[in-house]
Structure 1
């Protein structure tokens, strides 16, 4: 089974927690055929400024894919540059672990093998989802304990 990091904003993280569903945009249709039932998805949220607070980039939780389907009903919030995107390629999820304290990603970057550019590391998290090696998955999970 594959391990994926899914990248989103905190609004869509709330959708994942509430509905146990993740969606990817039309341009990421190939993921819909590559992701399989039983795969693991780590939910990543980008850094955001909320008032005077800066919320760091972090892994929020771990899920297993239980179903793969398409749905065009509006559920997710698209960033302004994505217009009316509805993220139609969806994955029903089963929570494995929601981290009590999100796993801040920046301190882990030097240890993660899939992050090849340690200086401009955020570029590795700009796509809807990316597959990661099991060794990196273990490092992230261990940091969440």
Structure 2
């Protein structure tokens, strides 16, 4: 079993929750191709400015992959600014494992996370990625089992 950090926006998180589906752009096909049914996906919301409020990066849920990757170009996700008309056609069906009533603060975990080598420039480990594999140890830490 593999563990994945899936990086998304507040807007697309609502769609994931409603439709139990995860999607990435075509350019991330090599990454999403590694996801197998049974893998665990952590939904990571990036830092966003919402009107006057700064929303910190946080983990909002754990899902399990329940399908292989499939292609669907129907527009359900919202393209973040700067991504043009992206539809995130490479998708996986999900089933919710746990939706956190209080999101897990990501920044407070950085000093303990193994996959983040450079603690000062930690955003570099996520920048430009739709998802990345993380060690089981980090997964357990994030979901509170570690």
Tell me what 1:33 maps to: 33
How big is each residue's C-alpha offset from its partner over 1:103-126, in whole Å with a ceiling of 9 and x where there is no partner?
Answer: 010010000010011011112122
Report the structure, 1 or 2, having the larger helix content: 1
SS of 2:139's partner is helix
Q: Which residue of 2 aligns with 1:96?
A: 97
Quote the residue 1:136 is aligned against: 138
CA distance in 2, matches of 1:102, 1:125: 18
Distance in 2 between residues matched to 1:116 and 1:83, nearest whole Å: 31
Residue aligning to 2:87: 86
Distance in 2 (CA, whole Å) between partners of 1:32 and 1:100 is 27
Q: With structure 1 as the length reference, what TM-score do the two structures score?
A: 0.95
Alpha-carbon RMSD: 1.1
Q: Work out the CA distance in 2 between the residues paired with 1:21 and 1:33.
A: 15
Residue 63 (structure 2) pairs with residue 74 (structure 1): no
- In structure 1, the partner of 2:47 is 47
* Structure 2 length-normalised TM: 0.94
SS of equivalent to 2:82:
helix
- The Cα shift of 1:54 comes to 1.3
Structure 1 unaligned spans of 5+? none
CA offset at residue 82 of structure 1?
A: 1.4
Q: State the 4+ residue runs in structure 1 displaced beyond 6 angstroms.
A: none
Gaps spanning 5+ residues in structure 2: where? none
In structure 2, distance between residues paired with 1:118 and 1:44: 18
Who is 1:122 aligned against?
A: 123
**Aligned-pair distance for 1:56?**
0.8
Post-superposition offset of 1:20: 0.5
